[in-house]
Amino acid sequence: MSAVDSIHNHSNHTPSNTSIPHLDYDTLLRAFSTLVNSLGEGAFPLTESLDAKPEHVALVLHNLPCTRDVEPLKAPSYALQSLNPQYQGTVLDCGASDHYTPCRDSLTNFTPVKETTRVADGRIVDALGKGDLTITVPCGNLGSTKVTLSDVYYVPTFSFTLVSIARILHNSNCQILFKNSPLPTAILVTESNVVFGRVPLTRGLFRITDATTGATNNNRLTLYAQSPPRKITLTEFHILMGHRGYADLRKMIKYGMFSGIEVIDVDGPDPDCRVCVEAKARRKPFHLSKSGKPAKYGDEVSSDVWGPAPVASIGGKRYFSLFQDRHSHEERIYFMRYKSDTFEMFKQYEAWVLRQRNAVIKELRSDRGGEYLSEEFTRHLAQKGIVRKLTTHDSPQTNGFAERAMGVHAATARALLLESNLPSSLWAEAVNFSCWLHNRSFTVSNSNFLTPYEVGTGIKPDLSLLRTWGSFVLVKDFKASKISSLVKPGRYLGPDENSWGIRVYWPSRHTITVEREVFLDVPDRSSPLHHDVLWDWTSLTTSTSMHHAKPSTPATSRSSTSGPMRWSLIYSPNRSRA
């Protein structure tokens, strides 16, 4: 009896009400190898004539390959996971115990479930549901065949749709043969020896479909990093995200709320952070009774004013006003010279909500500060039909959302300034960066696990360009002489909201500019690995160790994934930026 007959007969004689033991994948792979070596031409007749048309095969295979006629395996669920955050297509996988897909829209008869799967690197990921998935299997010169897989698990963090070879062999009368000539190919066969799929080995995988990454619909110049997702620790992610709470960061990681970064060693207790202790030593929170969440963007807006700052910003500002939409919890911050500018800032925010979010403000909640009670402010609200809600006497906690947001941004700004050793006159830049991070972070008020930015725009934020605030960067110097360095050092202050560039602080000039040609992950001048670096770091105060890397011109920008030597040109066309 051949290896094919053994596997085939074992599948046919498995009672429908009997649990199948845990599948030994090494044994399965050895069986495949034995099969390939033992089969000769004609040893297993396959129907590949013109009579076996794909549409005829599809009728035979309807809901057959993966229907669960037996109880599920009692062994834990396993799957492979790609490090590429973009969708990579559908592959045959001998390491997966079940079928998995990140494509929720492709599933029919969807049923929410809460199950877990262990991926190849040992991490546990959540399966949020399961349903039926119809795929198109290539069949060589016979065209293709549509096959319906049942009980396909929805795992949004996966990059591939994984079709489990184990499921096909155990739960159907189909077989899979592996042929090495002229090209390595997986051949899918029905019990009547009709070929319904020929899946060639492509780039190391048996790819049923191969989704290639194309250009986006956004034709504007955009920012991107020319490297695969960076692997960072939870502590590094905590610092990158402006010292956000670990609980919120873990939820962002668990539910795949960002792309461009891979966080490792997520399990375990929260790491200690001295900067957080210094910056956030706050009182116990008030226990507030929260009103219901507004139904639409702009239905309710909370606002507050912070200041005066003990030091004026580089732009001469000492105050900022904050506006928070209660539906999405998206925030906007406007910096001011005087408190009396609050009304003008509100009009700017009102116009932004109308044009950028296609919404109108219906209710404004604030304290009883004079900046909100001026005659022109009151008249404007009445003309626009905006309802005003004020706090009661000596009870600012009733405007708790804006009050808490102010505290978060102030604490984050202190942490960023302490971490970077940058001058306190950059407090406005730190607050602005904190607001940018908030709009792209987990908030407990959004129970659908969407960031405020995604609720407002429908676009998942991309954190691939996120770097430690205040870290060193190199900027192309267009005025450099013919024999001097073509780059000059600056400090990273985050993406610019009003243009497609990076905000860079110049310590020697005490100025801020927006730059397009910026290089990230550059080495410290004192690095013993790079004595030939031409720029002078001594004028810049550094408080953190930098990755060792050599800079290059934009025309030859490249990246490396081996070791800490990694750098990337951040600005290039044909990719959107969150």
pLDDT by residue (tens digit) across 262-302?
888 888 888 888 888 888 776 555 555 455 788 899 999 99
**Nearest CA among 551, 371, 578, 423 for reference residue 477:** 551
CATH classification of the domain holding 408: 3.30.420.10
Q: In this structure, is residue 341 part of a structural domain?
A: yes
Query: Which of 71-85, 259-273, 493-507 is predicted least confidently?
Result: 71-85
Q: What percent of the chain has pLDDT over 90?
A: 29
Q: In this structure, is residue 575 part of a structural domain?
A: no
Q: In this structure, is residue 36 part of a structural domain?
A: no
Confidence tier at 417 by pLDDT (50, 70, 90): very high
| Residue 308 shares a structural domain with residue 440 | yes
| CA–CA distance, 465 with 495 (Å, rounded to integer) | 8
What single-letter amino acid sits at 345? M
C-beta neighbour count of 246 within 10 angstroms: 18
Query: Which of 98-107, 247-256, 287-296, 568-577 is predicted least confidently?
Result: 568-577
Pairing between strand 571-573 and 568-569?
Answer: unpaired
Pick the residue with more confidence: 326 or 16?
326
Confidence tier at 37 by pLDDT (50, 70, 90): low
Query: Which of 110-114, 342-346, 390-394, 403-407 is predicted least confidently?
Result: 390-394
Token pair 């905000």 in the structure block, residue: 503
- Pseudo-torsion of CA 416, 421, 422, 426, nearest 10°? 40
Residues in CB range of 408: below 8 A, 6 or more apart: 434, 438
Decide: helix, strand or coil at residue 25: helix
| Residue 351 shares a structural domain with residue 430 | yes
Cis peptide bond upstream of 308, omega within 30:
yes
Q: What is the pLDDT of residues 148-166, one digit of tens each?
A: 888 899 888 888 888 888 8
Identify the top-confidence range among 263-267, 504-508, 547-551.
504-508
Q: In this structure, is residue 304 part of a structural domain?
A: yes
| Residue 276 shares a structural domain with residue 317 | no
| Residue 251 shares a structural domain with residue 142 | no
pTM of the model: 0.49
Query: Which of 85-89, 372-376, 532-536 is predicted least confidently?
Result: 532-536
Q: What percent of the chain has pLDDT over 70?
A: 67
| Residue 176 shares a structural domain with residue 314 | no
| Residue 241 shares a structural domain with residue 341 | no
Confidence tier at 178 by pLDDT (50, 70, 90): confident
pLDDT surpasses 70 at 20? no
Q: In this structure, is residue 75 part of a structural domain?
A: no
Per-residue pLDDT, 230: 77
| Residue 329 shares a structural domain with residue 358 | yes
Whether the Cβ atoms of residue 269 and residue 413 lie closer than 8 Å to each other: no
Per-residue pLDDT, 48: 39
| Residue 307 shares a structural domain with residue 448 | yes
Q: In this structure, is residue 78 part of a structural domain?
A: no
| Residue 443 shares a structural domain with residue 310 | yes
The number of folded domains in the chain is 4
Q: In this structure, is residue 501 part of a structural domain?
A: yes
Q: Running DSSP on this structure, what letter comes out for residue 465?
A: T
As a whole number of Å, the end-to-end CA separation of the chain is: 60
Phi, psi of 18, deg, nearest 5? -115, 135
Final residue before a domain boundary, out of 430, 457, 484? 457
**Nearest CA among 419, 509, 424 for reference residue 467:** 419
Range of the domain at 476: 471-519
Output the average pLDDT for the chain: 74
Question: How is residue 156 written in tokens?
Answer: 């949004």
pLDDT surpasses 70 at 562? no
Final residue before a domain boundary, out of 457, 481, 497? 457
Q: In this structure, is residue 343 part of a structural domain?
A: yes
Q: What is the pLDDT of residues 98-111, one digit of tens each?
A: 888 988 888 999 88
| Residue 268 shares a structural domain with residue 159 | no
| Helices 400-420 + 427-438 axis angle, to 10 | 120
Burial category of 24 from C-beta neighbours within 10 Å (exposed 0-12, middle 13-18, buried 19 and up): exposed
Decide: helix, strand or coil at residue 67: coil
Per-residue pLDDT, 32: 54
**Nearest CA among 226, 267, 243 for reference residue 572:** 226
Per-residue pLDDT, 523: 64
| Residue 100 shares a structural domain with residue 184 | yes
| Residue 356 shares a structural domain with residue 397 | yes
C-beta neighbour count of 552 within 10 angstroms: 15
Residues in CB range of 113: below 8 A, 6 or more apart: 127, 128, 129, 130, 153
Final residue before a domain boundary, out of 221, 245, 280? 280
| CA–CA distance, 369 with 265 (Å, rounded to integer) | 46
Residues in CB range of 483: below 8 A, 6 or more apart: none
Residues in CB range of 43: below 8 A, 6 or more apart: 2
What single-letter amino acid sits at 201? L
- Overall average pLDDT of the 425-452 stretch: 91
